Structure 1
Amino acid sequence: MTFAHGFNLLPHRQRDARLARRRRYVEWTSATLCGCTAVALLMVWQAFERVRIDRQRAAIEQRLAVLAPPLAEHTRLVGEAREERLRNERAATLSEPLMHLLDLLDALGRESSEAVAVRQLRQRGWDTELLAASSDHAASAAWLNRLAALKGVKDSDLSDMRRATGATEASSAFEIKAHLKWDGPPEKKRAQAEAHQNTRGKQ
């Protein structure tokens, strides 16, 4: 309540309003200072973390630099061992047909030529074809059975039985074709070995 001349009968309201404004200013200032302090602490912590991480990285790089030559040597030795193993596998794969042929020739050398006489032999990888003259069907079958019993033979058959070239009517000689299939590596490894052999031949 005021008089007509404008005197304020309640001066404490203005004082309270000023105090409230001051409190708000103090609160805002405190909040701002707290926020700035938190940001500053975060930046300091990040700086320390960055220094720590940089030191760890430098230490790891130093260890790796020390280990680099042994690791490179180990990698080289592993690569050489792998190449050596592959070369040995290729050599073994390529030598198998030759070993089979030698076994077959040894077996044929022990056979009597009276009943069955071999005239021609063809070796193609893991397949062998023999052209022979025989005078007896039973002798031909027994001869093939003996060859089929050789180590490594997977399959065998007789085909194309006909009268031998140059044989007279009175002669009972006839031609036979024997086929031996040897047990070799899987088709994929066989193709790789043959491709490697062809590549070496071109070189």
Structure 2
Amino acid sequence: MNRRLAIAFAALTLQACAIPQALPEATDLQAGAGEVVVIGKVELVPPLDAREQRSHWNAIGEKRFLERVWLATGAEHRPIDTTKLDASQFGRSLEAKWGVPFMVKVPRQRTYLNGGVLHLDVMQQERIWFPGGFYFEVPEGAPAVYVGTLRYHRNDFNVITRVEVVNERADVAAVLKGSPASDVRVSLLRRVPERPILRSSN
């Protein structure tokens, strides 16, 4: 292993260790105090082809990077910095596999999706960045909420051209194992309103 590769290997190892713990997965609708179960899905159109990602035998933690999209969440609207990968921005990351419904435990509060990242080649630091600007509310007394499918559309240059939220409530039954779907309240993702431009009175 040459010096350059050794440095990249060490940096990647540290980066993998620095990634904060993801939002915990839920296996039923029983959330802890101050939590709510959230069900949804993330899609990419056109879908990712296996040939678009490159793996390396000596990249520790690489599998976790490549198999999913990472979405930064939080109690405030704080769009992520897409000029560099900063692990601190993903302190409460939603890790989702493309096209597979997820079910996670989230703090019981208005929650924002502040953007995301997909790794194509962890050694070369090639990534696709995804815009945020969405949030969901938690209805009072709801043990679980369904937030919909967050569908990203991209062009041939991996630039996100459109984002939509789709109500595919059938996904709720797909992830529940014996729990009644009637206990899940629909609270679809909403776009964060644009701030009005304040004009001078002069």
Structure of higher RCO (CA pairs closer than 8 Å, 6+ residues apart) = 2
- Would the TM-score normalized by the shorter structure come out above 0.5? no
Q: Shorter chain as normaliser: what TM range?
A: under 0.3
More strand by share: 2
**TM score, norm. by length of structure 1:** 0.23
More helix by share: 1
